[in-house]
């Protein structure tokens, strides 16, 4: 047996316990760090060849493991820009150098430019809706831009389409007038069975433009003798409400012609078979609004109709909200919303093998696997929770226990070293 060898073994043991104590110190120091993942020390033996009755002591080496894949506790906050991930995945952020990295730290706040940055100064990245609904780039970070929630001033969006749905009473009578005197002819000849509803749309400046819709039964197709139901066609005529006549029992005559006319055809079962698409062509605003009437039925029930156009009045932004799919919405004062960005998540095959960097961020490497990007709640990725933060997954009681064990083991290894030193003193003193 080598006395020097036993002393070196004791030194390796003290170094190993010092590394263990270092990971404990890191964990305790970051017990309140948002999204922090605990690290631990693993030990493995180093064995030297021995022969006969001569044993050569080896040593011990350490490696650091990360519990990146372990979920931390989620707690709710009062800030809507605080984000937590429930499940797998990482936020994609970038530092001052513009390099995208991964993090679970979602304590984002607005900086002086309106970008969302976390406590370490990393900017949250997302896909913009400026060019329509975004598509994810699964194998890279192309197309990502900083998420900016500064929405100053007013925003107006012109109406380009609308959906109108409801029911036309199958018991309504055919207008007892010639086709030339239907509402589309702009004459005051509507009957009690002609139904009128209105819908508000928006011009390019965000001004409200109201349109009046008239539904009148035109024809009935006589069914075979044994079939009680009847197929029918209805006229839908649309006018600018601002051009309606003042006074009287109806709005006719309007000062301008119809801005859109169509025919809705229904089968004997009351289902729409033709005429579901009719355009509003407004000569005043210069807009064309594609109206969808495919949601109408003709059944034996009272008339009903509701219209939902797109577009938006000139309204200031009141708030910014983020949903579980990662869509960042601007919420306007009138209650309407508009998508601004969509926040993706990224993941790797082995999260525990990611390279840890300062600022509680990670980068992929050969051991972790390549980065795969996707939207929340797709391909196994988690859900984004707004107004919440993921805490550290450090077990403080366990770390204090580890610290005591490390201290005791370090002391024991030092005793081995001290004993080897005493034996060396005995050997040196034999010469005296």
Instruction: Write out the chain's pLDDT in tens, 432 residues.
Output: 577 778 888 888 899 999 999 999 999 999 999 999 999 998 888 887 877 677 778 888 888 999 999 999 999 999 989 999 999 999 999 998 999 999 999 999 989 888 999 999 999 999 999 888 899 998 889 999 999 988 766 778 899 999 999 999 888 887 655 556 688 888 766 677 788 899 999 999 989 999 999 998 887 765 555 444 568 889 999 999 998 887 555 688 898 999 999 999 998 888 999 888 999 999 999 999 999 999 999 988 889 888 889 888 888 778 888 998 899 998 887 777 888 999 999 999 999 999 999 999 999 999 999 999 999 999 899 999 999 999 999 999 999 999 999 999 989 988 888 888 888 888 778 766
Residue 179, CB-side half-sphere exposure with 13 Å CA sphere: 7
pTM summary value:
0.67
Q: Which of 245, 263, 154 is nearest to 202 (CA)?
A: 154
Partners of residue 339 on adjacent β-strands: 329
pLDDT the model gives residue 226: 45
| 354 DSSP assignment | S
User: For the chain, how far is it from start to end, CA to CA, in angstroms?
Assistant: 24
**For position 152, what pLDDT does the model report?**
67
Sheet holding 272-274, edge to edge: 195-202, 208-221, 231-240, 260-266, 272-274
Whether 39 contacts 67, CB under 8 Å: yes
pLDDT at 177: 54
3-state helix, strand and coil shares in percent for the chain, rounded to the nearest 5:
15, 40, 45
| Residue in the block written with tokens 């080896």 | 58
CA distance 74 to 84: 7
**CB neighbour burial string for 265-298, b if at least 16 within 10 angstroms, e if fewer:** bbebebebeebbebebebeebebebebebeebbb
Which residue in the block uniquely carries the two structure tokens 């797109």?
310
* pLDDT value at residue 189: 65
For 63-86, give one letter per residue: b (16+ CB within 10 A) or e. Answer: eeebbbeebbeeeeeeebbbbbbe
């Amino acid at each position: 047996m080598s006395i020097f060898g036993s002393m070196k073994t004791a030194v390796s043991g003290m170094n190993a316990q010092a590394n263990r104590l270092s990971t404990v110190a890191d964990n305790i120091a970051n017990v309140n760090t948002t999204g922090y993942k605990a690290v631990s020390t693993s030990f493995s033996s180093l064995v030297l060849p021995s022969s006969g009755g001569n044993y050569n002591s080896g040593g011990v080496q350490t490696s650091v493991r990360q519990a990146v894949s372990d979920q931390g506790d989620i707690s709710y906050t009062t800030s809507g820009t605080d984000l937590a991930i429930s499940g797998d995945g990482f936020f994609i952020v970038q530092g001052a150098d513009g390099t995208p990295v991964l993090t679970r730290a979602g304590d984002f706040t607005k900086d002086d430019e309106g970008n969302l940055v976390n406590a370490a100064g990393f900017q949250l990245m997302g896909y913009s809706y400026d060019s329509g609904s975004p598509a994810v780039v699964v194998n890279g970070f192309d197309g990502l831009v900083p998420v900016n929630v500064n929405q100053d001033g007013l925003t107006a969006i012109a109406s380009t389409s609308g959906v109108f749905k409801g029911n036309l009473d199958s018991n309504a009578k055919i207008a007892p007038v010639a086709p030339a005197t239907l509402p589309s002819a702009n004459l005051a000849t509507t009957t009690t069975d002609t139904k009128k509803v209105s819908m508000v749309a928006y011009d390019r400046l965000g001004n409200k433009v109201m349109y009046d819709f008239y539904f009148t039964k035109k024809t009935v197709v006589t069914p075979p003798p044994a079939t009680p139901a009847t197929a029918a066609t209805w006229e839908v005529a649309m006018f600018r409400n601002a051009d309606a006549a003042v006074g009287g029992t109806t709005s006719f005559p309007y000062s301008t012609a119809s801005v859109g006319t169509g025919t809705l055809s229904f089968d004997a079962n009351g289902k729409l078979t033709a005429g579901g698409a009719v355009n509003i062509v407004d000569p005043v605003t210069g807009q064309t609004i594609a109206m969808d009437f495919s949601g109408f039925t003709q059944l034996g029930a009272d008339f009903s109709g509701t219209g939902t156009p797109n577009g938006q009045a000139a309204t200031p932004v009141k708030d910014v909200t983020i949903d579980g799919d990662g869509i960042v919405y601007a919420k306007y004062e009138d209650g309407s919303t508009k998508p601004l960005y969509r926040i993706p998540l990224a993941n790797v095959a082995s999260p525990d093998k990611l390279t840890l960097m300062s600022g509680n961020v990670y980068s992929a490497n050969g051991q972790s696997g390549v980065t795969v990007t996707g939207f929340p709640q797709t391909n196994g990725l988690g859900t984004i929770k707004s107004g919440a933060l993921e805490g550290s997954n450090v077990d403080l009681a366990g770390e204090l226990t580890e610290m005591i064990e490390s201290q005791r083991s370090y002391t024991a290894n030092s005793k081995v070293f001290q004993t080897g030193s005493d034996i060396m003193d005995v050997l040196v003193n034999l010469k005296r």
